Structure 1
Amino acid sequence: MPYSYLFARILACLALVAVLSIPSSVWAAYANYELRVVDAKTNLPCAAKIRITDSRGNPKRIKGALMINGTAYITGSLKMELRPGQYQFRLDAGPEYPFMEGNFILNSGDSDSRTIELKRFIDMTQEGWYPGNVAMSGDTSDLETIMMADDLSLGNHITWDNRLNQWAGKPIGAAIDEFGGDRYLLQLGGEDDRAGGKLWFSRLTSPLPVQRLSDEYPAATFFQSDLKNAHVTARSPLEPDLPLWVSQDLLDSICILSPEIETYEFSEKHPLAEQAKQIRKGDVTGNSRLALNTYYKLLETGVRLPPVAANGTATEEQTSRLDRVYARVEGTFTPDTWWKAVQEGQTFVTNGPLLRANVEGKPPGHVFPINIGEKHEFQIALSLATRQTIVYLEIIKNGEKDIEVSLEEYKSRQGVLPAVEFTDSGWFLVRVVTEESGYFQYAMTAPFYVEANGQPRVSKSASEFFRDWVFRRAMSINLPDGDQRNEIIDQQREARDFWQKRAKQANAP
């Protein structure tokens, strides 16, 4: 798999300059141009997004196009009306296509159209990996455009939250919007965002009445009996009620990669406020690293919640990055088979590189049985495709970096990483980090698990970490004395007892 697309980019840039640089002797205030994008293999229209900036670096708004953060979304073709001048562009059709970027000049009176071919350097669906986004907001038509341009197979559409239920007073129509050839937008996704943190819901048959709830009462677990086959995701590992939700078996997954994690704000009474104070001012990776470390601690307690990712909205304030979770589907891809793969932990998350790993032919989420005391080596076979420069690859074992591999060593080993050794229960995963500046860009597999004599690894210190977390959360409950406060405090006591019991039953430090 190639790791540099410089030559391809140069050719693409030259091609687009030739296409767009059309002189004209006709005087006019604007130049008009229609750009068509097709897939080179199928010759079918290809959705993409293009960011065009002028000579001063200002992004140009394309009239009639869906615009997010100065980026125009294309569904096959885009008509542009721009003033004459020199422009820079960046064309992106998702992480499975190379970038196309360069410069072009439009002269006064230009009016023409051309077709650009995009060629995938990898087709993840051919390998059974389908990308999804567990929390998208906006109009359905806009989200369809975003999903096609970002090459997403499945999206969870947030149509109700604590402020508004879009279905109020309306009949609930189709729960799933199928479009664009094997793409699905789940229309009944929802959000509960209160003092205990933010939860995302999917696979529901009707919205939850969260608009009537106060900030603290009742706890999110109030609706647990109504969830049935629903999928519940914690917005991040940083949510104040995370230990409570885990103790009540509310969650099906945790989002560990999203722009919301990077902008997460900690109140003075947040259970992780002291840890957050250690993040250096201006460190754009700080929140993301704290979220990862917290997720690793959760895995250390023996809790097995798969990682997912979220991004994708039609509001100008949000980024148009490619944070997503890939799930490995065996057989036919449908929303049901995708969610089943997620719940089984057959996933990897990414906002850049495409990372597939297997151990002894098994995907992430697999549990390997061993006999305690007997050394067992696990060989990780890795496939990596990327448009970005990789800084390093690492294997995380039981919450700590076990092995770090440079890109050159990875190439020389032909995608086979050093073996991971176990003589007792534990878990391990693979992460790759890029040199992208401005935000934390990486890809990470879900964990592989090792069970010695049928027992998962349970760390005493990690369990005590979440027990102490519950104490700090209980102290911040903002309710007056009375039945409601007593009920919430009792639930926190039950969570405390859950983590205390886990610490006593621990089989690891």
Structure 2
Amino acid sequence: MAHAQGALAGYVHPFDALPAPEDRSVALTDDLPVSAALGLVDYMEVVGFSDHRSTAAIWYRLLNCGFRIPAGAGTDAMANFASLRGPVGLNRVFVQTGTDATHEGWLKGIRDGRTFATNGPLVQFSLDGRGPGSEIRLPRGAHELKMRAAVASIVPIDHLEVVANGDVIAGFPLAGDRTAAKIEQTIAVTRSGWYTLRASADRAVHPVLDIYPFATTSPVYVIVGDEAIRSAADARFFLAWLDRIEAFVRAHTDWNGPAERESVLGSLARARAVYQERTQPR
């Protein structure tokens, strides 16, 4: 419905802890893997009313499956924030719109992944001069890409890291008051993947009224040869997640009717086919 009206649909304040499909002592009915597989997630609220690191860990798994989901941000629209994590507007997404500073240009910037999400630190990141949302195509073989990274923050930062395919491949200690840094170096690339820059602190730091300061860019995508970005292990992780959802659906009895139940099972089946295909090398 949102797409039919020209709007974007995002996944908001996802996870306070890492979902574990193998842990059957905890319910797991979150349908994020279904929505992602069916192309219904235009962005993911990586910085929101949730644990940012846990949320990012699931986002990384989705990116590893080849879904190009930009980083977004947002806060619950509640005026009484005394017992919550920060006021409205604390978690926000910055969008590179270029010369098109219109609502449509802003939506396109999110859709294209030209974003970073933050509750405080401001981050910049590029590979070979290409920023978040860009795709760099390279021939097969070994390559070196010039990386530029920067952070500016109103609070000290404990970690400034480049994440590639879910792993930290470079970390940069911040000097002095640990609120700013500019980095230039090369990154070795031999296979297809995605790259982001993230900045974080280990604890809450005033005036960032959240569980801890955190920021991340959307990915820069690098395609080497014709190799797709894939992770069979992460696809199997989501297949196990779908097993948990399907077990709940089949046991559930409070449906509006048989058609509703079959519609949900049909969505699960279509999502399962996507992840099964992505367990295969490409």
Choose between structure 1 and 2 for higher RCO, CA contacts under 8 A separated by at least 6 residues.
2
Cα distance, 1:449 vs structure 2: 0.6
What's 1:270 paired with? none
Root mean square deviation, CA, Å: 2.4
Unaligned runs of 5+ in 2: 16-28, 205-209
Residues 450 and 456 in structure 1, CA contact (< 8 A), matched pair in contact too: no
Larger Rg: 1
Cα distance, 1:435 vs structure 2: 4.7
- Secondary structure (helix, strand or coil) at the match of 1:322 reads coil
Whole-angstrom CA distance in 1 between matches of 2:259 and 2:170: 52
What's 1:451 paired with? 223
Name which of 232, 236, 261 aligns with 1:460. Answer: 232
Whole-angstrom CA distance in 2 between matches of 1:351 and 1:367: 26
Cα distance, 1:417 vs structure 2: 3.9
Whole-angstrom CA distance in 2 between matches of 1:479 and 1:254: 31
Amino acid aligned to 2:75: N
**TM-score computed with the length of structure 2 as normaliser:** 0.82
Name which of 482, 486, 489 aligns with 2:265. Answer: 489
Percent identity at matched positions? 24
Q: Is residue 3 of structure 2 the alignment partner of residue 231 of structure 1?
A: no
Unaligned runs of 5+ in 1: 1-222, 262-286
Residues 203 and 212 in structure 2, CA contact (< 8 A), matched pair in contact too: yes
Whole-angstrom CA distance in 2 between matches of 1:312 and 1:470: 28
Amino acid aligned to 2:190: T
Whole-angstrom CA distance in 2 between matches of 1:302 and 1:422: 18
Q: Is residue 246 of structure 2 the alignment partner of residue 246 of structure 1?
A: no
What's 2:190 paired with? 423
| 1:422-457 superposed Cα distances (whole Å, 9 cap, x missing partner) | 111111111111354261211111111110124331
- Secondary structure (helix, strand or coil) at the match of 1:402 reads strand
Amino acid aligned to 2:95: A
Question: Greater share of strand residues, 1 or 2?
Answer: 1
Residues 425 and 450 in structure 1, CA contact (< 8 A), matched pair in contact too: yes
Whole-angstrom CA distance in 2 between matches of 1:396 and 1:383: 14
Structure 1 residues 378, 236: closer, same or farther in 2, change over 3 A?
farther
Cα distance, 1:237 vs structure 2: 4.8
Whole-angstrom CA distance in 1 between matches of 2:259 and 2:130: 50
- Secondary structure (helix, strand or coil) at the match of 2:161 reads strand
Cα distance, 1:400 vs structure 2: 0.7
Map 1:50-199 → 2, pairs under 5 A: none
**TM-score computed with the length of structure 1 as normaliser:** 0.47
Whole-angstrom CA distance in 2 between matches of 1:391 and 1:480: 48
Whole-angstrom CA distance in 1 between matches of 2:46 and 2:34: 18
Aligned pairs, number: 254
Amino acid aligned to 1:449: Y
- Secondary structure (helix, strand or coil) at the match of 1:487 reads helix
Residues 474 and 492 in structure 1, CA contact (< 8 A), matched pair in contact too: yes
Residues 126 and 220 in structure 2, CA contact (< 8 A), matched pair in contact too: no
| 1:344-398 superposed Cα distances (whole Å, 9 cap, x missing partner) | 11111110111122222221111111122x2112222123221111112111111
Structure 1 residues 328, 498: closer, same or farther in 2, change over 3 A?
same
Residues 138 and 222 in structure 2, CA contact (< 8 A), matched pair in contact too: yes
